[in-house]
Amino acid sequence: MRAGFDFRVSARDGHARVAELETPSAVIETPTFMPVGTVGSVKGMSMEEVAQTGAGIVLANTYHLWLRPTPEVVRSLGGLHTFTRWPKAMLTDSGGFQVFSLASLRTIDDDGVTFRSHLDGTMLRLTPEESMRIQTLLGADIMMAFDECPPGDADRATVERAMARTTAWAKRCLDSPRGEKQALFGIIQGGVHTDLRRQHIKELCALPFDGFALGGLSVGEPWQEMHKVLDDVAHEMPEDRPRYLMGVGTPRDLIAGSLAGIDMFDCVLPTRNARNGQALTWNGRVNIKQLRNREERGPVDPECDGPCCTTGYSRGYLRHLFQAQEILCGRVLTLHNLYFFGRLMKRLRQAIREGNARSWADSVLDRMRENDEVGPADDA
């Protein structure tokens, strides 16, 4: 790995593992969840509050920071850590997810991607070299190689083309300059085709990346198919480097990924659900909007020792805030959800150390499904 970085596995249970990822800014215990700070901010939260949740690393979005305030401005204001006031580790995605999510605003070719800005319609060109230039200026600890992320329902030929482009772009990313204290992770594509995933693992993992990610999952395919891919191939990525599952973040998926051998996760789910009045708990999702909460004095989760549930925020008060469209409800529930994810990963690491990760996972997930208030059990 790059100087200033290290990855040390300390415990295993099947394919699951506990490790320490050392970066120049922080040492992160894995498996870990990374809160998403798209524009340099975890929605509604101060960085001091994010730190309260136990997070050791935050993700920022290359595409959005490219548009505003621009990487040059971020660099002039001290780089991402100083700019955002986040003292721990940071990771920047490459802009590759926007190749998927902004498909109606872009055209793609073998050299790169032309975007029409979703802000003002300006035409912009993103190539592997430009992605590396942007991320270098932003100054995150971990950079991601530029990739093509096909949708979950893409046919096999489309997935194969995306793999070929991603491999070619990965080599160009490695050839591009970056900061001495910046690691670079490669991204493995292949859709839900196990044979293509294995083919791409072989291709990408022959390259000198500091870590590897599975991309192109949780982009429209059924979660059962995603879990099968994880079980089949996650543990086949290099043993001595971090493994990252991009954009995945239900409690069910975090647990399944960790049992399959994944070390790092990110997702907007805990913040987005909070803004929609959903709290994540050991008893499944709580729908704070329900009438049953109108005069409820208890906390969102009696088992939670976090700042939302131990400082007097009642379900009744939070429901009132949501009904009144007060920003405070989203802030409090976001803090709660991120804290819950931090505790979920901490307990999972302990279960791996104790050698009972599978039985612990089954017990936790059964309880969440049984008591979930939001939707069908299969969606929990």
Catalytic choice (13, 93, 147, 372): 93
- Reduce the DSSP state of residue 32 to 3 states and report it: strand
Comparing CA positions, the residue from 140, 31, 5, 135 lying closest to residue 86 is 140
Residue that the structure tokens 């069908």 belong to: 376
**Both tokens assigned to 339:** 């804290």
Q: Cβ(125)–Cβ(112) under 8 Å? A: yes
Known catalytic residue at 111:
no
Known catalytic residue at 266:
yes
Where would I find the H helices in the chain?
47-52, 62-67, 71-76, 79-84, 96-101, 128-138, 156-175, 194-204, 223-233, 251-260, 269-275, 315-323, 327-354, 357-371
| Alpha-carbon distances, residue 11 vs 338, 350, 355 (angstroms) | 25, 10, 9
Give DSSP secondary structure letters for 131-161. HHHHHHHHT-SEEE-------TT--HHHHHH
CA 316 to chain centre: 31
Q: Residue 92: count other Cβ atoms within 10 Å of its Cβ.
A: 25
Catalytic choice (141, 263, 266, 301): 266
- Catalytic residue numbers read 93, 266
